[in-house]
Amino acid sequence: MRPPTARHDGVVAAEPPVVPDPGRAESRAWRDGIGVALATSAYGISFGALSVASGLDVWQTCVLSLLMFTGGSQFAFVGVIGAGGLAAAPAAIASASLLGVRNIAYGMRMSPVIGRGFWRRAAAAQFTIDESTAVSLAQDSPRARTIGFWVTGLGIYAGWNLSTLAGALLGDVLGDPKAYGLDAAAAAAFLALLWPRLRALQPIAVGVAAAVLAVVLTPVLMPGLPVIVAALVAVVVGWFNWLGRRDRPAEPDDVPELGGLP
């Protein structure tokens, strides 16, 4: 910003506020959305390979990405199925649903951005994920936010499903995923989501306590249940706000940082 200008009579006059260029804001929304979509879509290859290795066939894997379209939940689902087979399906569904609850909060926050209209909102519900929400709310104007949401959501949806198909076909050809380390893809993906959020005492304590509890319960409970029980740690800590700052109210405009999964 330029310094205030001095008029000839000695009175200092402030510069008028700078009005953002709509074209530049919209170009930035397109650029951000496409960049995030390209970076995020690559993770679909790992999911496709892991899903086939867990017992699903190529078409089941692709349908899961087409309909569920939330990477964290998809990795949780196939991870539990891979560990416990079809007998663990209820736990797999519960784990996937638990991780998908956050999208409800995103939907409420994105409602003003999406606008009115049943079909418009119904379509937007499919694309309301971490990345589309974060890119949208990072923009400077209402139209740029709308562009950011749709470009990111549609871009990731297309890229995620294409990379899922590629990963499923690749995994079908490779055979045993353990020989290539693909059996650790789900754990690595969740660690990538968790790591950027470990910036304060409360989330660090929750992460450590949940991990210890899951490790202790894994030999005792059926696959999938240790994850659900460990998630209750976060619920209890959040409910009572243990180790958290009580003088800082919740900020409704807070959105997740861009992660690696939709």
Query: What are the boundaries of each domain within the chain?
Result: 24-184, 198-249
- CA distance linking residue 171 with residue 167, whole number of Å: 6
Block residue for tokens 């202790």: 216
Bridge partners, 12 (sequence order)? 6
Give 3's pLDDT tier (boundaries 50, 70, 90).
low
CA distances from 188 to 10, 50, 206 (A): 64, 12, 18
Return the percentage of the chain with pLDDT > 70, whole number: 77
Each residue of 91-121: pLDDT tens digit?
A: 888 888 887 888 888 899 999 999 889 999 9
- CA distance linking residue 2 with residue 14, whole number of Å: 9
| Residue 89, pLDDT score | 84
DSSP state of 13: E
Mean pLDDT in residue range 10-21: 56
Mean pLDDT score of the chain: 81
* Of residues 10 and 32, more confidently modeled: 32
| Residue 14, pLDDT score | 55
Most confident of 35-44, 79-88, 220-229: 35-44
Decide if 145 contacts 25 (C-beta within 8 A): no
Block residue for tokens 């990379």: 163
- CA distance linking residue 108 with residue 259, whole number of Å: 20
Mean pLDDT in residue range 33-38: 91
| Residue 180, pLDDT score | 66
Each residue of 114-172: pLDDT tens digit?
A: 988 999 999 999 999 988 999 999 898 999 999 999 999 999 999 999 999 999 998 87
| Residue 1, pLDDT score | 52
* Of residues 54 and 159, more confidently modeled: 159
| Residue 178, pLDDT score | 62
Among residues 135, 163, 161, the alpha carbon closest in space to that of 150 is found at 135
For 119, phi then psi, to 5°, come to: -70, -35
Whole-structure pTM value? 0.70
- CA distance linking residue 125 with residue 111, whole number of Å: 10
Mean pLDDT in residue range 23-35: 91
Question: Would the CA dihedral through 174, 178, 183, 185 be positive or negative?
Answer: negative
- CA distance linking residue 163 with residue 233, whole number of Å: 34
Block residue for tokens 């689902």: 77
Task: Report whether pLDDT(188) > 60.
Answer: yes
Radius of gyration from C-alpha coordinates of the chain: 22
- CA distance linking residue 67 with residue 89, whole number of Å: 17
Residue 144's identity, in one-letter code, is A
Task: Report whether pLDDT(253) > 50.
Answer: no
Each residue of 172-181: pLDDT tens digit?
A: 777 666 666 6
The dihedral over CA atoms of 150, 151, 152, 158, expressed in degrees to the nearest 10, equals: 100
- CA distance linking residue 25 with residue 141, whole number of Å: 7
Bridge partners, 13 (sequence order)? 5
Task: Report whether pLDDT(251) > 50.
Answer: no
| Residue 128, pLDDT score | 95
